[in-house]
């Protein structure tokens, strides 16, 4: 599933290929992608212009000129691309927005899990996981007092705690493994047992890692590409995720992979020892 750096990379691409374009027609080939009534969705957007594309956590927010917002969640495999109107459409392309400038924005999703929801601008935070989403992983939003208070309330393992979007927005399996390795924290460590120093270091690692991953245009492990069809480059900088059996870059110990909260989890048993 695309995580925050990948979704932000997509958003930046959409600002170049979709923002400022006026919709002339919409073709919908898989109606379940749209959570609204399909014809209502279509008629509400034809003739409207995409003013800009914002992001909150892993959600894309398309802002339209008629004070409507389309909330788009890519889920596992969703992606956007553009082409001239009339270009080839394969069986995995489910929604096509045709623009008056002769181009079209296509939504492709091999797993069919992605969803689009059209709401009045201002109501987007009532859609799906946006209702309970936590702060963005930035210095200003993701404060140390907030993070500390959330951790102190949790008796569960730190990895599922970080995967829960209520605590901090945008982290998924890849980046949780990375920030725990960076912070030398075992993925099964109970969240409320972290020391003040560990909490501060973990917060710092989360902010730094996601910002760096955005800089390198995200991580491509299976199929992620940006709005121009290009893969990310951050996978070349991963230290933990995908490196089970390799030597830890820090101490040389063999990295191991286990399951935590039903998610494959790679860590260094020496650097990230479970603390009593």
In the predicted structure, residue 223 carries a pLDDT above the cut 70: no
pLDDT tens for 155-203 read 999 999 999 999 999 999 999 999 999 999 999 999 999 999 999 999 9
Residue 2 pLDDT class (50, 70, 90 cuts): confident
Domains parsed from the chain with CATH numbers: 4-131 (3.20.190.10), 144-267 (1.10.8.50)
Residue 3 known to be catalytic: yes
The residue from 55, 58, 79, 115 that is catalytic is 58
**Residue list for the binding site for DNA:** 92, 111
Residue 178 known to be catalytic: no
HEC sequence for the chain: CCCHHHHHHHHHHHHHHCCCCEEEEEEECCHHHECCCHHHHHHHHCCCEEEEEEEECCEEEEEECCCEEEEEECCCCCEEEEEECCCCCCCCEEEEEEECCCEEEEEECCCCCCEEEEEECCCHHHCHHHHCCCCCCCCCCCCHHHHHHHHHCCCCEHHHHHHCCCCCCCCCHHHHHHHHHHHCCCCCCEHHHCCHHHHHHHHHHHHHHHHHHHHCCCCCCCCCCCCCCCCCCHHHHCCCCCCCCCECCCCCCECEEEEECCEEEEECCCCCCCCC
pTM given for the model: 0.90
**Residue list for the binding site:** 92, 111
């Amino acid at each position: 599933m695309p995580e925050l750096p990948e979704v932000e990379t997509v958003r930046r691409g959409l600002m170049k290929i979709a923002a400022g374009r006026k919709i002339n027609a919409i073709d919908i080939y898989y109606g379940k992608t749209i959570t609204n009534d399909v014809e209502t969705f279509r008629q509400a957007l034809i003739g409207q212009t995409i003013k800009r594309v914002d992001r909150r956590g892993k959600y894309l927010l398309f802002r339209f000129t008629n004070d409507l917002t389309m909330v788009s969640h890519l889920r596992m495999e969703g992606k956007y691309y553009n082409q001239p109107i009339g270009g080839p459409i394969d069986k995995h392309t489910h929604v096509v927005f045709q623009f008056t400038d002769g181009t079209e924005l296509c939504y492709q999703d091999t797993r069919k899990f992605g969803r689009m929801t059209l709401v009045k601008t201002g109501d987007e935070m009532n859609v799906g996981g946006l209702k309970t989403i936590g702060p963005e992983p930035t210095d200003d939003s993701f404060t140390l007092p907030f993070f500390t208070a959330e951790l102190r309330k949790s008796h569960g393992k730190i990895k599922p705690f970080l995967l829960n979007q209520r605590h901090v927005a945008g982290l998924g399996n890849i980046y949780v493994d990375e920030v725990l390795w960076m912070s030398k924290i075992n993925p099964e460590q109970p969240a409320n047992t972290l020391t003040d120093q560990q909490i501060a270091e973990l917060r710092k690692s989360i902010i730094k890692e996601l910002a760096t991953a955005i800089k390198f245009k995200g991580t491509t492990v299976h199929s992620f590409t940006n709005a121009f069809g290009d893969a990310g480059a951050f996978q070349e900088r991963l230290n933990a995720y995908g490196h089970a059996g390799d030597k830890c870059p820090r101490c040389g110990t063999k990295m191991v992979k286990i399951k935590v909260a039903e998610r494959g989890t790679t860590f260094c048993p020496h650097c990230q020892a479970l603390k009593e």
